[in-house]
Amino acid sequence: MSDNIKHKTLFALKWVTILQAVTTLGQLLIRFILANILFPDEIGLIAIVTVITELLVMAADMGFNASVIQRKTLESTHISTAFFLNMAFAAVLTTLVFFTSGPVSAFYADVRLEELLKIISVIILIRASVSVQIGLLDRELNFKKIVIISLVALVISSVVKIILAKNGYGAKSIALGDILNQIIIAGFLWVTTSWKPKIKEISMKSFRELFSFGGNVMLVNTINHLSSKADLMFIGKLVSTFATGLFSVAALVSDMLVSIINSIVQRVLFPSFSRLQDDPERIQVGYLQATKFISLIGIPICVGIFFLANEIVTLFLQESYKPAIILIQILSFRAVFNSMGGVLWGQVLKAKGRSRLVLLLTVVKLVALFVFIMIGAQFGLIGIAISTVAYGGVFRFVYQHVINKVIDISMLKYIQCLMPALVSALIMAGALAALRYGLKFTNIQGYTTVGLVVVTGIISYSAAFITLFSKDFKVMKSLIFKK
């Protein structure tokens, strides 16, 4: 990367990482608190509603957020056009949700869904009102403002969720808290952002320029999100909302930390890759470095979660969530594949302007997921979990093959950049397996077990990485601590 872009990218990555880590810990804590107040079927209801709402939020954006980031030259007509069309489409989708909430509720055979959908649909409008502002900040790698207000909004809305949940609001407590979260973020951005939309600047030419790229991105984002959450929607229909709640909590535990790492890198690197779309060599280097960075942090987290699944559930969740232990362990393997740079393929292709290819691959991915889940569903909830792991493994390498062709790297180079994390994590897993076996012959349990597993995991992984891959350790250390 050029020195200027590299400096801005590393600065943004460090800033977002530090504050996102605080946000992540806060979200995990609140989810665990709410899981101990609400029952799995209530968590399952809100999981289904959230998937539907987030899909429509992405659709309402029309891909303009990505277009604002990706365009080499951006004019005021592009920005105003994006804003007003986002708001108009969001209004249509909000109305659609309101009038179709009854049929959706009937489809899942749960009348509670109708009210929840009507309540939470307002988020579509709120998010559309600031999509452009967020895109402008992302374009300049200016994440400080967004991350700080997001943290403040998280604290306030989380307190409200807990109060409402304790007062018997059930799943509505999460819906109302999410709405408050978005209102705080939107209000702050409108007050602090100098840009204001001008209706006279709406331009059909600007719409065509934005939508030629953004339209495909919109479809990709909605389909990709659907594919990542389709398991929850299928479980709600094929099994029950109770099973959906169990699966959503298991997915939260196994995926959340890795997902946050992915989202940090993805959000920072898409603008950076877009600035370098005409420099193939630097994109190759940036892609491999980002993949190595994600795997070095994400894969050991997955290993640790696998060995701590029992303690996570028994110490932090109520008795009704015990069936989630085996689900967490199974889904931790899916998280490993996500830690192997899986999130980056779409960012690279979008940055290169290949949004149609991303759309095609995402459609194929969604169809394949449906097939995998239907096969897994024959063996119940555990079968669905295993099927999503198999699906994640197959498509991680299918998509990598495509990326290799687009940016001209070999599969060998890709695998080589993963080796430090995979080898070190394998040694870590061996150490933790030996520890867990030894603990069977003692009375040690609970928080002491958690402490021993964490310390053993960190020491064994770090020792293996530093000893066997000293060069990579020095590079990673310089990236983290370079001013």
Identify whether residues 153 and 261 lie together within a single domain: no
Identify whether residues 401 and 474 lie together within a single domain: yes
Final residue in a domain of this structure, among 197, 214, 237: 237
Residue 329 lies in a domain: yes
Q: Contact, 104 vs 53, CB < 8 A?
A: no
Residue 387 lies in a domain: yes
Identify whether residues 198 and 267 lie together within a single domain: no
Average pLDDT over residues 94-98: 90
Residue 83 lies in a domain: yes
Residue 10 lies in a domain: no
Q: Contact, 351 vs 273, CB < 8 A?
A: yes
Residue 223 lies in a domain: yes
What lies within 8 Å, CB to CB, of 355 at 6+ separation is 63, 213, 214, 216, 217, 220, 349
Residue 143 lies in a domain: yes
Identify whether residues 213 and 296 lie together within a single domain: no
Domains held by the chain: number: 2
Identify whether residues 225 and 259 lie together within a single domain: no
Phi and psi (nearest 5°) for 111?
-65, -20
Average pLDDT over residues 430-459: 93
Final residue in a domain of this structure, among 237, 258, 275: 237
Q: What is the pLDDT of residue 270?
A: 46
Identify whether residues 188 and 247 lie together within a single domain: no
Q: What is the pLDDT of residue 274?
A: 47
Identify whether residues 262 and 370 lie together within a single domain: yes
pLDDT of 483 strictly over 50: no
Average pLDDT over residues 275-283: 60
pLDDT of 2 strictly over 60: no
Give the integer Cα–Cα distance in Å for 86 and 128.
6
Give the integer Cα–Cα distance in Å for 97 and 384.
28
- Using CA atoms, how far residue 336 sits from 163, 255, 263, 326, 404, in Å, is 36, 9, 15, 16, 20
- Alpha helices in 140-279, H assignment, sequence order: 144-166, 171-192, 204-238, 241-275
Give the integer Cα–Cα distance in Å for 101 and 183.
23
Residue 2 lies in a domain: no
The two structure tokens encoding residue 82: 């994006």
The two structure tokens encoding residue 422: 């995979």
Residue 30 lies in a domain: no
Q: What is the pLDDT of residue 422?
A: 95
Q: What is the pLDDT of residue 143?
A: 66
Q: Contact, 23 vs 75, CB < 8 A?
A: no
Identify whether residues 43 and 67 lie together within a single domain: yes
Please write the tens of the pLDDT for every residue from 233-277: 888 887 778 888 898 889 888 887 777 666 666 555 545 554 545
Average pLDDT over residues 164-174: 90
Q: Which domain holds residue 305?
A: 239-483
For the chain, the average pLDDT equals 82
Q: pTM for this structure?
A: 0.75
Highest average pLDDT, of 34-38, 100-104, 352-356, 427-431, comes from 427-431
Identify whether residues 381 and 453 lie together within a single domain: yes
Identify whether residues 194 and 329 lie together within a single domain: no
Final residue in a domain of this structure, among 216, 237, 258: 237
- Using CA atoms, how far residue 430 sits from 12, 412, 456, in Å, is 36, 26, 11
Please write the tens of the pLDDT for every residue from 97-149: 889 999 988 888 888 889 889 998 888 889 888 887 777 776 766 667 777 78
Nearest to 40 by CA among 274, 266, 241, 275: 241
Identify whether residues 306 and 413 lie together within a single domain: yes
Rg of the chain (C-alpha set): 22
Identify whether residues 291 and 377 lie together within a single domain: yes
What lies within 8 Å, CB to CB, of 81 at 6+ separation is 201, 202, 203, 206, 207, 210
Percent of the chain with pLDDT over 70: 83
